[in-house]
């Protein structure tokens, strides 16, 4: 990791910016849509940097990790603060690759708004849909920016149509492009009806002109559409619309109406540009000020008081008690662990104690910093609406709440996806064994989608993540950052086990060996759960058959037993477990006895519930020139791919389908050889489905280390 550089920031400009002039927003998109390029232009035009960084040259400020610079992709979300029109922007640039989707998830959780970037040639791509759904889940107001208008095949209106059809939103273009491809000159502002033409290469001089005859009809049509959509979303403008007085609506009134409708999530303002050519970014910055919410515009944060279990609301104000959510952990070789957090209410000073409401512990924050990529700016205090990082929080993890001990509150945490790919990892020399354990623990703290387990049967350390690239990067970091030499086995699929029929199971743990014995007895009703439901535990014991203090131990035994199934040791998912009956002994019963009884009962239930294997199914998009369609489709059929749709995008064919992950290892090389390097593909986790008989047989023969899919051939 690059060295973190620190400088002290006076309370000056940072703390003086009022909340209504603060914008916490992120940039999200599919890989290669131009997120980091746009972020670099934002830093340049806001005066945060004086030289435009380049992703291709590895000089992008926000892509500071060595692996990001080498590969030209964003791996970790980077935060920075900059200023525009006397407003403070707290900006987070996120990764686009599906393997790092957890970075987007945790960023959206703490942001007030976001800009979703689309490639004008590719339109709405699979990861665009994923980030859109994530933003929907957290009710994040957003704007769309159709980038790369200068590229061959750029089509603003095609992308606009896809935003509406595929994402089910109401896009409202506030700009139209002047030309496209090599002739793209800038945008037409539909509110002021002016052409904004860039006249220099750095995009610093912009000429405003009346709309030329060539675009007058187009502007008239789209301005009318814009006014209609804004009127549908805003009562004030609808009043003008109904009374046929739209010509009296001022640009300021339109700005205010678009802002209200955007914050309410009723519309998505759409802009266009070519960030790489330095065109369109300043208008995007204006739009962040004009249309995205300040911390005061979003509803106050809700949480649960851990003492009373009642819901509490914390107003976004410096006068409210302090509360914040930790959303990211980062290891720094010089200061140790950095904990990123979003402050929702109150004020917090450096050197004070905070209360972790999840763990019910107190910790002291040694230093508060604002981040500019990997550089640190020391600050004395943070307050409501701020995004900052703390040094000194040793026990606080991602998704946990920090607050005042006198006013405890538990904010809603985050749900992270389960890993789908695993690798066996071992050290090259015995001396590195302890270093490996420490390094893996730190990486696991940083990344909630990364898991480390130890397989006692094979005496192997298993690391699991969201994809081959994800694990490849982490193994590379072990070598470079932590100086641990490792060897890894081939990637394996994270299979699961589940049951297919309803059963009743009995779990008994009885030991008598002189003196006090052990006695635990439970009866469990078990049945298949809905896909994606995990393991649900319900207590329906009545009449004190099992004392209340032993119920959590039974649940713990069930959850622990679910970590390794009965067929080949894969985790059990999608099972509903109801504790209905049991018995206890006045002297011999203990929490341990009931935990073991719960575990034995669960295993017995799975064994008699006709267990099966489940495999991860991926949502697949393959982009190929038409000449190679036949070979690619034939190869996909051999990989058990179910093709759901075939379409056209510019001059290439697009194949959509669902395919088992086990069949897709090494597919990047295959698609290149089938299409002479011209094809590409994207995958993201979709669901778990039962495996075919042949794969199940292979998994049973291979035991817990069995693999299935092409990886085992």
**Nearest CA to 498 among 690, 321, 237, 286?**
690
What pLDDT does 374 receive? Answer: 63
State the helix-helix crossing angle for 126-137 and 156-167, rounded to 10 degrees.
50
Dihedral pair phi/psi, residue 14, rounded to 5° = -60, -55
Paired with 44 in beta bridges are none
Evaluate whether 286 touches 201 at the Cβ level (below 8 Å): no
Query: Radius of gyration over alpha carbons of the chain, in Å?
Result: 28
**Residue intervals in the chain for CATH 3.30.70.240:** 615-712
Indicate the length of the chain as a whole number.
Answer: 713
CA gap 562, 657 in Å, rounded: 31
The answer as to CATH 3.30.300.90 being correct for domain 421-489 is no
The hierarchical CATH code for the domain 20-291 is 3.40.50.300
Fold of 615-712: Alpha-Beta Plaits (3.30.70)
Tokens 């380049």 correspond to 54
What is each CA distance from 245 to 139, 174, 248, 360, in whole angstroms?
33, 20, 6, 60
pLDDT averaged per 10 residues, the chain (length 713): 34 63 91 86 86 60 55 66 92 74 83 95 84 88 96 94 91 96 94 94 92 95 94 88 75 93 96 96 96 94 91 93 91 77 93 92 90 78 91 88 94 81 84 86 87 74 84 87 85 90 95 79 95 92 89 95 91 95 90 95 96 93 89 94 87 90 85 82 86 91 50 35
Buried b (16+ CB within 10 A) or exposed e, 71-81: bebbbbbbbbb
How many Å separate Cα 264 from the centre of its chain?
22
**Nearest CA to 691 among 575, 570, 602?**
570
- Give me the sign of the Cα torsion angle 122, 125, 127, 132: positive
Evaluate whether 174 touches 189 at the Cβ level (below 8 Å): yes
Q: Which parts of 553-661 are beta strand (E)?
A: 575-583, 612-624, 642-649, 652-660
Evaluate whether 290 touches 115 at the Cβ level (below 8 Å): no
Evaluate whether 354 touches 402 at the Cβ level (below 8 Å): yes
Evaluate whether 63 touches 435 at the Cβ level (below 8 Å): no
Tokens 């492009």 correspond to 177
Taking the CA atoms of residue 427, residue 431, residue 434 and residue 436 in that order, the dihedral angle to the nearest 10 degrees is -30
Buried b (16+ CB within 10 A) or exposed e, 687-708: ebeebeeebbebbeeeebbbbb
CA gap 393, 336 in Å, rounded: 10
Domain spanning 301-411: which superfamily? Translation factors (2.40.30.10)
**Residue intervals in the chain for CATH 3.30.230.10:** 497-610
**Nearest CA to 92 among 25, 152, 165?**
25
The domain 497-610 is placed in CATH, from the list 3.30.230.10, 1.20.1270.360, 3.30.360.10, 3.20.20.20, at 3.30.230.10
CA gap 400, 503 in Å, rounded: 37
**Nearest CA to 637 among 665, 661, 663?**
663
3-state secondary structure of 639: coil
What's the longest Cα–Cα distance across the chain? 100
- Give me the sign of the Cα torsion angle 259, 265, 266, 269: positive
3-state secondary structure of 543: coil
3-state secondary structure of 660: strand
CA gap 69, 92 in Å, rounded: 18
What pLDDT does 431 receive? Answer: 79
Evaluate whether 119 touches 31 at the Cβ level (below 8 Å): no
Evaluate whether 381 touches 307 at the Cβ level (below 8 Å): no
């Amino acid at each position: 990791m690059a060295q973190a550089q620190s400088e002290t920031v006076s309370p000056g400009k940072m703390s003086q910016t009022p909340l209504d002039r603060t914008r916490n927003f992120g940039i999200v998109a599919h890989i290669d849509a131009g997120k980091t390029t746009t972020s670099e232009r934002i830093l340049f035009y806001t005066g945060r940097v004086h030289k435009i960084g380049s992703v291709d040259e590895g000089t992008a400020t926000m892509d500071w990790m060595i692996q990001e610079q080498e590969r030209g992709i964003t791996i970790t979300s980077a935060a920075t603060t900059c200023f525009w029109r006397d407003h403070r922007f707290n900006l987070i640039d996120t990764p686009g690759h599906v393997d790092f989707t957890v970075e987007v998830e945790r960023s959206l959780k703490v942001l007030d708004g976001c800009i979703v970037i689309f490639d004008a040639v590719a339109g709405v791509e699979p990861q665009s849909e994923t980030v859109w759904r994530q933003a929907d889940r957290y009710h994040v107001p957003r704007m769309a920016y159709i980038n790369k208008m200068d590229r061959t095949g750029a089509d603003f209106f095609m992308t606009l149509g896809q935003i509406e059809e595929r994402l089910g939103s109401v896009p409202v273009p506030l700009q139209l492009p002047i030309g496209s491809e090599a002739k793209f000159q800038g945008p037409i502002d539909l509110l002021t009806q002016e052409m904004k033409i860039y006249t220099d290469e750095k995009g610093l001089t912009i000429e405003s002109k009346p709309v030329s005859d060539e675009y007058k009809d187009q502007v008239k049509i789209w301005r009318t559409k814009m006014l209609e959509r804004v009127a549908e979303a805003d009562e004030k403008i609808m009043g003008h619309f109904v009374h046929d007085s739209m010509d009296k609506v001022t640009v300021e009134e339109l700005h205010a109406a678009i802002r209200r409708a955007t914050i309410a999530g009723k519309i998505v303002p759409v802009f266009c540009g070519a960030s790489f050519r330095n065109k369109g970014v300043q208008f995007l910055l204006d739009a962040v000020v004009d249309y995205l919410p300040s911390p005061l515009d979003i509803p106050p944060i809700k949480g649960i008081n851990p003492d009373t279990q009642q819901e509490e609301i914390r107003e976004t104000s410096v006068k409210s008690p302090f509360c914040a959510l930790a959303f990211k952990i980062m290891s720094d070789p010089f200061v140790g662990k950095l904990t990123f957090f979003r402050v929702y209410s109150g004020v917090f000073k450096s050197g004070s104690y905070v209360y972790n409401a999840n763990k019910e512990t107190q910790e002291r924050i040694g230093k508060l910093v604002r981040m500019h990529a990997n550089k640190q700016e020391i600050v004395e205090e943070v307050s409501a609406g701020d995004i900052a990082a703390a040094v000194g929080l040793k026990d606080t993890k991602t998704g946990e709440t920090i607050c005042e001990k006198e006013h405890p509150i538990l904010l809603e945490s985050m749900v992270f996806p389960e890993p789908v790919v695993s690798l066996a990892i071992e050290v090259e020399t015995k001396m590195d064994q302890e270093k490996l354990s420490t390094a893996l623990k730190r990486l696991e703290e940083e990344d909630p989608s990364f898991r480390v387990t130890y397989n006692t049967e094979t005496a192997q350390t298993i690391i699991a993540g969201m994809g081959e690239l994800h694990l490849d990067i982490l193994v590379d970091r072990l070598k470079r950052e932590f100086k641990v030499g490792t060897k890894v086995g081939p990637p394996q699929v994270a299979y699961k086990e589940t049951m297919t029929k309803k059963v009743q199971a009995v779990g008994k743990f009885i030991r008598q060996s002189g003196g006090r014995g052990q006695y635990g007895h439970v009866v469990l009703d078990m049945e298949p759960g809905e896909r994606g439901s995990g393991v649900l535990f319900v207590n329906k014991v009545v009449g004190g058959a099992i004392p209340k203090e032993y119920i959590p131990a039974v649940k713990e035994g069930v959850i622990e037993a679910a970590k390794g199934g009965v067929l080949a040791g894969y985790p059990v998912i999608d099972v509903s477990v109801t504790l209905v009956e049991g018995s206890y002994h006045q002297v011999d019963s203990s929490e341990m006895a009931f935990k073991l009884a719960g575990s034995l009962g669960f295993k017995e239930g799975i064994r008699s519930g006709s267990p099966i294997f489940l495999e991860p199914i991926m949502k697949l998009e393959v982009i190929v020139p038409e000449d190679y369609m036949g070979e690619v489709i034939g190869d996909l059929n051999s990989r058990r791919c179910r093709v759901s749709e075939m379409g056209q995008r510019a001059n290439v064919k697009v194949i959509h389908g669902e395919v088992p992950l086990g069949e897709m290892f090494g597919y990047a090389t295959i698609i290149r050889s089938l299409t002479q390097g011209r094809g590409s593909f994207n995958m993201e986790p979709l669901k778990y489905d039962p495996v075919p008989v042949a794969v199940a047989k292979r998994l049973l023969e291979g035991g817990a280390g069995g693999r299935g899919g092409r990886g085992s051939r």
